[in-house]
Structure 1
Amino acid sequence: MDEEAAQVVKRIFTLCMEGRGPSQIATLLTEERILIPAAYHQKEGRNTPSQAGEKPYKWHQTTVAKILERKEYTGCTVNFKTYTNSIWDKKKRESPAENQTVFYGTHPAIIKVDVFDKVQELRRQRHRHAKTGKTSLFSGLVYCADCNQRLYYCTTRYFEKRQDFFVCSTHRADKEKCSGHYIRAVVLEKMVWLHMAEVIFCVTHYETHFRAVMERELRLASEDAIKVCRKRLAQAEKRLAELDRLFIRLYEDNVSSKITDERFTMMSSTYEDEQKQLKVDVQELQQEIEVQERQIENLEQFIQRISKYTDLQELPPYALRELVKAIYVEAPDKSSGKRRQGIHICYDLIGFIPLDTLTKEETA
């Protein structure tokens, strides 16, 4: 392992986990005058397909994005990443993920698999950047509890930190479709930190009790989810088998001239489209069943993550991205004469944590 290069890769993944995008990371690396890969290879006397040119410290967001997508950093080897149409067509094309072959544990890992997977999930989320250049550590994580749409981060260059806020994107577009789920960023940060601090305390001081309660909750939720997924999977597989029979009958009818070629083409195209979608659905349902069956393993992994943050005194972006998957903000309740608002935190790997149940059983 090239330790110097590995440190740069780790820093890039850490910055992404803290909520920075490829362009922001590229700007930061340029400011810190870190050599781009081509310039670093030249310095080490290695062959490189491209030259660094006159700007050896000028990082581009495309380079950062490629590094963030490179699965080999997790200690595996990926084969068949590209292909050519024929021996006469030399142009290399990127192979879809399902056509690639991955061999795990072929060399020392620079990035942990769970960190790599989390980064891919973060990059799939489309973050709305404010025109001022200001960002929030919650960007891309906050949703409306009623319509499940994102909450926009709103700020201006004249706002103080306490004035920045989040608002429901649906309400902003059409006030009749959803009520105003408005919450100030500093209030959200305080509420999330208090909840996370309580979870960390509970795991740290009552790990056995936390594990028992969460195993019970996860098992109940998994059983229901698996039952629904298996029912849908059986229906999809039954329909796939039925489509195979329909294809045979359709072909026989076309051969015997019971239906025209145009009719055959139209119907077979319709069946093929349905078949393709069903195969995708079957694969997704099988993956969901596997995920649900691994819930107890996920719980152990979550507890290990929590153990790294036992001494936290504030909410760092990395911890937020590693532990939290989504935050749902309720509409404010003013019936008591005071503005009260609740949030629900969906934690990565294990979902929602019933703190009320945990606290009651601890004190019982």
Structure 2
Amino acid sequence: MIRAISRKEGQYKAALYMRLSKDDGTGESASISTQRTMLRSYAARHGFFIYGEYADDGYSGTTYDRPAWKRLLADIEAGRVNLVITRDLSRLGRDYILTGQYTEIYFPAKGVRYIAVNDGYDTKSQGNDLAPFQNIVNEMYARDTSKKIRSALRTKMEEGAFIGNFAPYGYRKDPEDKNHLLIDPVTARVVRDIFERALRGESPLSIAKLLNEKRIKTPAGYRRFLHHEMCLENVEGERGWTSGAICKILSNPVYAGDIVQGKSSKLSFKSQITLSIPKEEWVVVKNMHDPIVSREMFEQAGRRSISRKRSKLTQFSNVFSGLVYCGDCKRAMTTTGGSHEDERKLVCSGYKQYGKAACTNHYIDYGLLCQIVSQELTALITLTEKERKELARELEKYGKKADNPEDKQAAETLKKREKEIDRVIGKLYEDRVNEIVKEERFYKLLASYEQEQREIKAEADALKQTTSSVWISREKSVHDVDRLLNELVEKRIPAPDLLKQFIDRIEIFQSRKDPDQRDKRFLTVRICYRPEPPGSKKA
């Protein structure tokens, strides 16, 4: 039976809108297809001309920031569409306030008719009194789903499962368990080198400059190289490695084998605003994966991770930065005073910032501390020729060695896998031609193998960069030891790299009256020497 189409119905230019979020279950594309079939059938039965179809696959109904929806609104504003059809009200959205604004205010103001097929909702008819309640029910469903998802994620975090979208720099996700981290043999080398340099006393800024000189990709750059589909902003203006990025790596417990999550949270399920969570409420689970550095190295290097700045006017650099602390309140001591060492003092930062409520006004002359530390180190370091060479060998361990067997093995493994993937892709094309593999399956497998090839190429490039460091020879190490010791004896100011090699921290205690001479006061200076470097063997 042929249905007669009225002139009024024929004037409608319909937009079929379909939406499905990840929260609605699996099989998004199939469900979008089901919605499309239903809406096309409905439009055909009622004689509506279909102007366009708009599908948001994988977008939540709690927000209207969706590409297809924005395109639909643009067509409404241009007068191209005067009828919107969805499967039900929840496909339009699950925010009852905004959804009500569209159905009760926006559509009528634009002369647009709206139909939700399964809910029997039609703005042309009068029986729509229950629609606002339906919108509230839809939002309650979204709110309940959000709570369940948050609860499930919280449980996984407390169990130590990694739930981030991307693995931290230096790691990769386990192919067999996406919530477990495996060490990335390429970027882990960079992370380990950063910790070793920080442990030797190199500043975050100098480490960042070195990585930039070697053209080693930043964490964001490496991630973008692996995932070509990512469209990160400010790519052209990327600054490269910075001291802040180095400090962030040095302070991240993930490199000691721990999982730290729950640092931020969204304001609500309807908002994209992110709130920072207090540190004491973070979810920390220790020893969940293989560490890149030992816990001892992590803790010691972390204390050296303070970004040190030099005044552009005075060019003064504090050699004790990150080493000197107030013995009373345990806060760092900072420099103040003139442009020359003799004019500067180290003062308690607690008193400097907060006054008597935090600590007392005590300080030590910068030059005096230099003299004290130099004398102490000179008295302790009296080396024979054999001991000097022994120390040189220990320093040499920090250097990169030219023919590292691990580097060769990693390069050979990558090359072997690349050839294997080439063979697999060739066989895959043959299976497609012979119709052994269906087209849909073929493209999925091809995309997967091509992605792995890109990752292998990125790892190979990074491997070449990290193995290009200059090997420190034994002769150069001996020369460095001689230079450091000579500087210690000849100069009143200790060499920063020598300080970081031997001293863990220096504590300055509040000045007190001398019991024997009441008119004089004295300071207590405690020098805490470092234990044996992590991983080193006793002679």
TM-score normalised by structure 2 residue count? 0.32
- Higher helix proportion: 1
Quick check: which has more Rg, 1 or 2? 2
Higher relative contact order (CA 8 A, sep 6+): 1
